[in-house]
Amino acid sequence: AFRSFHGRTMATLAATGQPEKHEPFQPIPEGFRHAAWNDLAAVEAALAPEVGAILLEPLQGEGGVNPADMTFLQGVRRLCDERGMLLIIDEVQTGLGRTGEWFGFQHAGIAPDVVTMAKGLGNGVPIGAVWATADVAAAFGPGDHGSTFAGQPLAAAGAREVLRIMEEM
């Protein structure tokens, strides 16, 4: 969506709907499309047959603290189901209780195919994680999804403690 923010790696920067963020890093990967926020018709109009997924935040943080309408999120989920596309929800800023639920998408009563999370998971300790449905996860082979920093014990211990405390609340 326009005004979205998904990160600073080349692919996540390309997914970010803020052209001014792209300028210093040209050329960026092609193929990402952006549509007006909270406008299901605009999202549908931006789709081409080769589009395999929709990525969005349940609440745009850097884009101006713009919450998604629940009917918009429900409509995007329905659109993904109708077209056989994945719904990827970026909960890096909003996940882990920051919207009053564990995840922002829960307010709309939807289930994404992939969820990204980070900031709230570590509560200041750098960590990121991805959840995916069993069907999506089956596409990954051993070692396909990881990094040279993966499995860092301090971050894992921090995340475990955050989750323990949150479950007690």
E-state strands within the chain: 53-56, 59-60, 66-67, 86-91, 114-117, 129-132
Q: Is 90 a residue of the active site?
A: yes
Task: Give the active site residue among 72, 103, 105, 119.
Answer: 119
Q: How many CB atoms lie within 10 A of CB 12?
A: 17
> DSSP assignment of 56-71, as one string?
E-SEETTTTSEEPPHH
> DSSP assignment of 142-164, as one string?
TTSS--TTTT-HHHHHHHHHHHH
Task: Give the active site residue among 90, 103, 105, 113.
Answer: 90
Q: How many CB atoms lie within 10 A of CB 52?
A: 10
Task: Give the active site residue among 5, 72, 103, 105.
Answer: 5
3-state class (DSSP) for residue 101: coil
Q: Is 5 a residue of the active site?
A: yes
CA gap 53, 132 in Å, rounded:
13
Residues 131 and 98 sit within 8 Å (Cβ to Cβ): no
- Radius of gyration of the chain from Cα atoms? 16
Q: Is 113 a residue of the active site?
A: no
Q: Which residues are catalytic?
A: 5, 90, 119
